[in-house]
Amino acid sequence: KSSQQVFALGVRGDSMMDAHILSGDTVLVQEQATAANGDIVVALVDGDATVKRYYFENGRVRLQPENSRMPPLYFDSGDLRIIGKVVGVMRRLS
């Protein structure tokens, strides 16, 4: 039994479609304040939650959409907060 909490978060938008996370899906998120390069995370930016792939490089954070039509987002470490790592996706089929 893990002491870590998991919560569900609804997804809006198509920024993660190439990772098979679609608008209307629900992601399962393991609460944690840190991430490793390449993790898909939920980050809090200016009060809004966003789901992106996480990279720490050159002293700043890159949140990379999994949609080739969207540019990466760059932040200083203090300008965002990692609230968890995506560990699953649920989709309603009908």
Residue 15 is a catalytic residue: yes
| Catalytic residue of the set 15, 23, 68, 94 | 15
Known catalytic residue: 3? no
User: 70-78 contacts: CB < 8 A, separation 24 or more?
Assistant: 70/15, 73/45, 75/45
Catalytic, out of 3, 23, 52, 94: 52
Cβ atoms of 44 and 83 closer than 8 Å: yes
Active site residues: 15, 52
